[in-house]
Amino acid sequence: MRIGISGEVRDRYLDSVVPTLCKYDIYRRLRDVTDIQRWHNYDHAGDAWSLTVALPALVVSGHIERAINLLWKLTNYLETGWTNTECIHFAVRELDRRCRVGLIDFQLAQRFRYAVIGVLDAFRGEWFSRLRDLELVQAVVVLLSPWPSYTDYFRRDLVKSLVRNYGLSPEFWYLLHEQHPQLNDNELMRAGKYWDGLKQTFDSSRPVIQNLESLVEPIRYFRQMGNPEATIFLREVVVNALFILNDKLTSAGRMLISMLLEDPAEGVRLATFPLAKENQLQHEFPEMKERLIQTLRELSPRPGSMFYEAQRTAARLARTVTDALDQDDDSSLQRALDALQNHALNLNDWQNGFLGADLLGYCCECRLGKDMQVENLLLFLEKIINKAIEETKVDYFLPPPVQSALMRLVRWPEEKPLLRLFLANIKATVSAKFGNKHDDIFNTPTKLESSMPATGYPSDTLVVIYSCRKYLDTRIEAIRATWVQDLKARSIPYLIL
């Protein structure tokens, strides 16, 4: 083999042909035109392309220890550059050839193969990685060639890796049956049986919903073995059958959905999946509700917040007040109000958004409705509101919880002299600093009739249509004339923002 170029161009050309020569198993012919030791030092590189190009040179030269170190190093660089899977495949074949003629120590070869397993696992099952490249699939099938000589523990680890990374790969099972039809391993045979069952089910012309029972065990097995594709299979099966399972949840459907919900993010997918009817899964899986809230927070830019926890505690305490009111239990109501008030007193600063003001306003409202004493509570509330007024910039509005607290109390009749005096003092203080900007707060509200009186699904969903002003007369008008009419027909409230 002759190359009619020289210098850096020649070097770059030789680099570029390494993967192709490895693919066709003619890499050793490079020794006719260059010293392959030139690639040995590529093992110091920090990218996947250089490292994988160096691998065949090290193995052919017999530097297996360096090749092992390179493979483990590669596990940290799989996302930095292109991984030449042809080079890995060739290296595995070359190692196998050298082992058969006694050129490599058994223990050293086993460590090399463990390093290859490490590379496979380092892909972490990423869908768009090179894990499922045919060259890598062929490489792992070559790993099975010396099966009789392997130790029990290496067989176990190798099979687990194969099932974990390729148990749901059609190419793997095809090559395995073609090249190792007599290979006998209980775990691999079990995985093959489950794979055949899945393939037969998906190849069937029957609807998936009619085959759910036959999918439960195979999918559960591959999930237990850590195969990430099992979740993809499971998700597709559940979503395909969801329209029917939403009306009639079968035992197999329940098991499949329960498996899927082991990943909280999948619960968000199911909860938001568009269905023709109300999503019944939250009723069938009540534990989803709390997990959904927590998952949405974890997926948000602010997964943790003291303010959020304070709100949750306040909501729980407010619910006990509501329950006591519904039961007309004055003793329980008094205890619930005391607990809520004590909590509210700690939430009156900017960090907590002055949430305590609204909670205390709610407590006042409840006490007024039961003719309980509110004098001390109004004193606390006045102090908190005055603090908010003092700390709010003159060109800003008062914190919403403060405004809400005042609007709660404005609704009460004029014959409450203490309350009337309280509101008059607060209004005077507000007007002195902000002018008439907050006057609407102190006006007795009129009752607003909802244009959409329906409750529950789908009227409990608010559709927000976001637009800039320049499109109000064009795109928004088109939306109003088309699918907004569908919203109205279904009593779904909407808002153009």
For the chain, the straight-line distance linking the first and the last C-alpha, in angstroms and rounded, comes to: 71
Q: Which of 46-55, 207-216, 270-279, 340-349 has the highest mean pLDDT?
A: 46-55
Cα distance between residue 294 and residue 303, in whole Å:
8
Report residue 290's pLDDT band, with 50, 70 and 90 as the boundaries: confident
Average pLDDT for residues 222-238, to the nearest whole number?
94
Residue-wise pLDDT tens digits, 27-65: 999 998 889 999 999 999 999 999 999 999 999 999 999
Whether the pLDDT of residue 456 is over 60: the answer is: no
Whether the pLDDT of residue 186 is over 90: the answer is: yes
Q: Which of 375, 320, 373, 371 is nearest to 343 (CA)?
A: 320
Report residue 306's pLDDT band, with 50, 70 and 90 as the boundaries: low
Say which DSSP state 178 is in: H
In the chain, the amino acid numbered 349 is D
Tokens representing 307?
Answer: 């303010």
Report residue 445's pLDDT band, with 50, 70 and 90 as the boundaries: low
Report residue 451's pLDDT band, with 50, 70 and 90 as the boundaries: very low
Average pLDDT for residues 180-199, to the nearest whole number?
94
Inter-residue contact 99 to 109 (CB < 8 Å): yes
What is the SS3 assignment for 404? Answer: helix
Report residue 449's pLDDT band, with 50, 70 and 90 as the boundaries: very low
Whether the pLDDT of residue 453 is over 50: the answer is: no
Cα distance between residue 245 and residue 241, in whole Å:
6
Q: Is the pTM of this model over 0.95?
A: no
Q: Which of 99, 20, 3 is nearest to 56 (CA)?
A: 20
Whether the pLDDT of residue 450 is over 60: the answer is: no
The secondary structure of 109-148 as a DSSP string is: HHHHHHHHHHHHHHTTT-TTSSTT-HHHHHHHHHHTTTGG
Helix axis angle for 152-166 and 106-122, nearest 10°, is 20
Tokens representing 41?
Answer: 């030092």
In the chain, the amino acid numbered 227 is N
Lowest mean pLDDT among 278-287, 288-297, 336-345: 288-297
